[in-house]
Amino acid sequence: MKGEGLPGAVLFDLDGTLADTEPNWFNGELAVMKRHGVPWTFADAERYIGTDLNESSADIVVRYGLPLSGPEFKDALVSEVYRIALERRTCWLPGVEETLMLLRRLRIPVALVTMSVRKLADVVVEDAPEGTFDVVVAGEDVTKGKPDPEAYLLAASRLGVDPGDCVVFEDSSPGTLSAIRARMHVVTIPWATKTPDFPGLLRRESMEGIDEAALRSYANAPLASEA
């Protein structure tokens, strides 16, 4: 491990973990559905939080009987969310900026691991201080989205760090499962949704107050299990 018990790398989910972007997705979905005369509520949106965008788009088209293909829905949704993201820019969640600064001071590699498309991830990268993220894994980079471990394993590989030396911050059940299945140390900070009580799962209310001691404790905690 890096230093004396520090994580070899810290990996972050994007939506609902680093930034308050879930409203962007909800409003984007609402706009597309309204265009086709289909009611849309947060309960509808919650079903798809943290899931692979290709899979969720295909499911929405079938479930709600839209006159679109899955890829057409995805393209329309991404266009709406991108427009909103450019207007709002990045609304960091509590404690995030301080945590990112701490990791830079400690020279711990950082990865952004999201199932969003790259151009949406790029908005967040542009709004962060230069050099904040060493690696970005976006939805286009993987063949299987969360909860499959591919995205997190790819990020660790690109960073040159063993998965077991990584600490992951997540907010959704699919993302948490992805990191658990990658055999990484997972800290969940539920924002828009609740995550199941996986055995050994680490939890925080927010990133406020994260310090070097907390990072050491996370890096040396027993791995959580989905069983």
Question: Active-site positions?
Answer: 13
10 Å CB burial of residue 215 (0-12, 13-18, 19+) is: buried
Q: Which amino acid is at 22?
A: E
Question: Cα dist. 209→72, 116, 201 in Å?
Answer: 43, 28, 19
Sign of CA dihedral 153, 156, 158, 160: negative
- Both structure tokens of 26: 């909800």
Instruction: Give the distance from CA 193 to its chain's centroid.
Output: 13
Question: What is the distance between the alpha carbons of residues 66 and 59, in angstroms, rounded to a whole number?
Answer: 10
Coil, strand or helix: which one is 110? strand
Question: DSSP letters of 153-213?
Answer: HHHHHHHT--GGGEEEEE-SHHHHHHHHHTT-EEEE--SSS-----TT-EE-S-STT--HH
Beta bridge partners of 186: 168
